[in-house]
Amino acid sequence: MPTFRTASEEETIALGAKLAQGWPPGAAVLLIGELGAGKTTLAKGIVKGLGAGEPEDVSSPTFTLIHEYGRARKVYHVDLYRLDRASEASRLGLEELFDRNSVVLIEWGEKFPELLPAVRYEIRIRTTEGDQREITVTSVNI
Amino acid sequence: MRILGIESSCDETAAAVVEDGVSILSSVVASQLATHARYGGVVPELASREHLRAIVPVVRLALAEAKSSYSDLSAIAATIGPGLVGSLLVGLTFAKSLSFARGIPLIGVNHIEGHIHAAILDAELEFPAVALIVSGGHTHLFEVNPGFSYQLMGKTRDDAAGEAFDKVAKLLGFGYPGGPVIDQLAPYGNPRAVKFTLAKMKGNTLDFSFSGLKTAVLRWTEARDLGGEIQTRKDLLAAQAQPTVEEWLRVTPRATLDVLASFQRTVIEELLRRAVAAADACGARALIISGGVACNSGLRAATEELHLPYPVYFPSKTLSTDNAAMIAAAAFPKLKRGEFTELNVAASANLTLA
């Protein structure tokens, strides 16, 4: 289980860009961590690493639920924070996103495990101290 | 000249009829309908299927309340983005079909431009103006030039301002969304009690960042043993969907009221500092503040206290949140210029205004 440590927002963005290099086109990636852990910050790096946008283009999709980045190669950035029931989340059409051969990043996806693809990456982000983060990447195949 | 506006970019299915860009003959928002029975008992909350159930009755009601028929309409305006594609498609496709079937021209409107027009319905706006759009999904600063052309001056790099309100409310046990609760309780706390240190922005100084502030409130909460207090609020919320201010005050100690007041003051200062700097930078002759957070009474009061040398326009509270009257109003200048939209226009999740 690869574990990484970053000491600043910039390092977290750089790590995101590096991690994204090895992913297949249709990868589903769960970003797991408490409020303020840096899920959206890591997403900035991933979107950049996949060539779908600049870090400053990536903002939190909490209210809007899904952000879409890139033209030729798209990245979807989903946030299920404000949803309480799986029935609400299922109405978003996540299955369709998973079928599009695009990387799909999901924040707060662990709330609804039944909606997630069996094969996915799980990235856990934890604050160790101040701006320092511990980031663990797991490849899941249920 | 009457325009039928249709909005379905996020949670709300809405339709409105607006005359000459200024008088709202009707404005229907599905979730505000008195009887849900009208469209089958479900409050539209998300995505396309819910919009599909609501769109026909909502448009019908908007026309009926406006005592208008299709033949009274000069144009049909619909939101084309930004938003959820599945949601946008429902309103836009409905508008296109109506336009095609009835031979009424279509005007595609950017949702954010709608928010700008919500604030200036019958105002004689002087240009250049600066528009601050603050909601759960957006925090943007635009320069507004004659003919309503826009230039982006700043935006949030992480959380939208409204989102920060909602998340802080939730982490303290006030439920989600919780922006209005914080606004109601903030006057009972000391806005200077807690000092939040904010990271200095690199790059564009007119950009916003609210993620750090949200995390600071989280750390403040973690540093104290608030579990019991938060649980009593969650219990209150479970027993009663919309507690009154008095009920909230009974379960909210002074220190928490202070943190709410300090948080709200900090957000307002961050918003206004940049809005004023943006207005100074382009020699603005008006400031527009719109979007859901424009409902915040603390923001309105703080703006007034600044005694700015140019008029500041806020929308009425009902037009601050998503509605279709603002879409019809934003379409009016386009109608006057004969700027119509082809029926093959696509919904665009990431549509930008500038």
**Residue B251 backbone phi and psi in degrees, to 5:** -115, 15
Q: What is the pLDDT of residue B178?
A: 86
Count helices and strands (H / E) in chain A: 4, 7
Which pLDDT score, from 0 to 100, does residue A113 have? Answer: 93
Residue of B nearest to A96 (CA): B86
Q: Nearest by CB to B218, which of A35, A56, A88? A: A35
Looking at residue B38, its pLDDT comes to 40
Angle B211-222/B161-171 helices, nearest 10 degrees?
10
Q: Is the pLDDT of residue B14 over 50?
A: yes
* Other CB atoms within 10 Å distance of the CB of residue B129: 26
pLDDT at A90: 79
Q: Kindly list the residues from chain A whose CB atom is less than 8 angstroms away from the CB atom of residue B10.
A: 63-65
DSSP state of B347: P
Q: Residue B46: what pLDDT?
A: 54
**Looking at the partner chain, which of A34, A81, A88 has a beta carbon nearest the beta carbon of B46?**
A88
State whether B86 and A92 contact (CB < 8 Å). yes
On chain A, the residues whose CB falls within 8 A of the CB of B85 are 68
Confidence of residue A92 (pLDDT cuts 50, 70, 90): confident
Domain that holds residue A37: 3-141
pLDDT given at position A89: 81
Average pLDDT over residues B3-14: 93
CA distance B73 to chain A (A): 31
The per-residue pLDDT for B34 is 42
Give the distance from residue A24's alpha carbon to the nearest chain B alpha carbon, in angstroms: 24
pLDDT band per the 50, 70, 90 thresholds, residue A93: confident
Instruction: Answer whether A66 sits within 8 Å of B349, measured CB to CB.
Output: yes
* Dihedral sign from CA coordinates of B274, A46, A26, A79: negative
Which of B47, B207, B215 is the closest to A36 by Cβ?
B215
Tokens encoding B210: 């609210």
- Interface A–B counts its CB contacts (< 8 A) at 79
Of A36, A40, A60, the CB nearest to B218: A36
pLDDT tier at B21, thresholds 50, 70, 90: very high
Given a cut of 60, is residue B39 above it in pLDDT? no
For the stretch B270-297, pLDDT in tens is 999 999 999 999 999 999 999 999 999 9
C-alpha triplet B24, B25, B30: angle, nearest 5°: 85
The arithmetic mean of pLDDT across residues A22-28, rounded, is 92
Mean pLDDT of B37-61: 69
Question: Residue B47's pLDDT band (boundaries 50, 70, 90)?
Answer: low
Contact (CB<8Å) A56/B156: no
Q: What is the pLDDT of residues B311-350, one digit of tens each?
A: 999 999 899 999 999 999 999 999 999 999 999 999 998 8
Q: Which residues of B312-347 are buried (b: 16+ CB within 10 A; e: fewer)?
A: bbbbeeebbbbbbbbbbbbbbebbeeeeebeeebeb
Structure tokens at B354: 């500038």
Decide if pLDDT at A138 tops 50: yes
The predicted pLDDT at position A59 comes to 94
Q: A60: which chain B residues are within 8 Å (Cβ-Cβ)?
A: 158-160, 163, 211
Residue B200: pLDDT over 80: no
Say which residues have a Cβ less than 8 Å from residue A44's Cβ, sequence separation at least 6: A13, A16, A55, A56, A58
Instruction: Choose among B315, B326, B342: nearest CA to B79.
Output: B326
What are the b/e assignments for A96-124, b being 16+ CB within 10 Å?
ebbeeebbbbbbbbeebeebbbeebbbbb
Q: Say if residue B50's pLDDT is above 90.
A: no
**Nearest CB neighbour to B159, from listed A60, A66, A92:** A60
CA distance A76 to A102: 7
Per-residue pLDDT reduced to its tens digit, A30-51: 999 999 999 999 999 999 999 9
Band (B43; pLDDT cuts 50, 70, 90): very low
Residues of B with CB under 8 A from a CB of A: 10, 45-50, 82-86, 135-137, 155-160, 162-163, 166-167, 171, 176-177, 203, 207, 211, 214-215, 218-219, 349-350
Contact B184, B169 (CB under 8 A): no
**Is the pLDDT reported for residue B36 higher than 50?**
no
How many structural domains does chain A have?
A: 1
Reported pTM: 0.91
- Mean pLDDT, chain B, rounded, equals 92
Instruction: Report how far residue A14's alpha carbon sits from residue A59's, in angstroms, rounded to the nearest whole number.
Output: 16
Kindly report the length of chain B: 354
Could you report the per-residue pLDDT of B120-160, keeping only the tens digit for each? Answer: 998 999 999 999 999 999 999 999 999 999 999 999 999 99
Phi-psi group of B67: left, alpha or beta (phi > 0 → left; psi -120 to 50 → alpha; rest → beta): left
Per-residue CA distances from B150 to B129, B141, B203, B242, B352 (Å): 10, 10, 21, 39, 10
Residue in A closest to B167 by C-alpha = A35
Rounded to an integer, the average pLDDT of B105-130 is: 96
What is the rounded distance in angstroms from the CA atom of residue B119 to the CA atom of residue B103?
Answer: 30
Question: What pLDDT, on a 0 to 100 scale, did the predictor assign at position B32?
Answer: 54
Task: Please give the sequence-ordered ranges of beta strands (E in DSSP) within chain B, or none if there are none.
Answer: 2-7, 14-19, 23-29, 73-81, 106-110, 129-134, 139-145, 149-155, 286-290, 312-313
Give A50-97 as a DSSP string. Answer: TTS--GGG----TTTSEEEE-SSS-EEEEE-TT---HHHHHTT-HHHH
pLDDT of B37: 39
Query: Which residues in chain B touch residue A132, judged by CB atoms under 8 angstroms apart?
Result: none
Top pLDDT among B10 and A34 is at: A34
Checking phi first, is residue B26 left (phi over 0); if not, alpha (psi -120 to 50) or beta?
Answer: beta
Shortest distance between the Cα of B137 and any Cα of chain A, in A, equals: 5
Chain B neighbors of A41, CB-CB under 8 A: 158, 211
Q: Is the pLDDT of residue B40 over 50?
A: no
* Residue B28: strand pairing partners: B15
CATH assignment of the domain containing A51: 3.40.50.300
Give the one of B155, B158, B160 whose C-beta lies nearest to A63's C-beta: B160
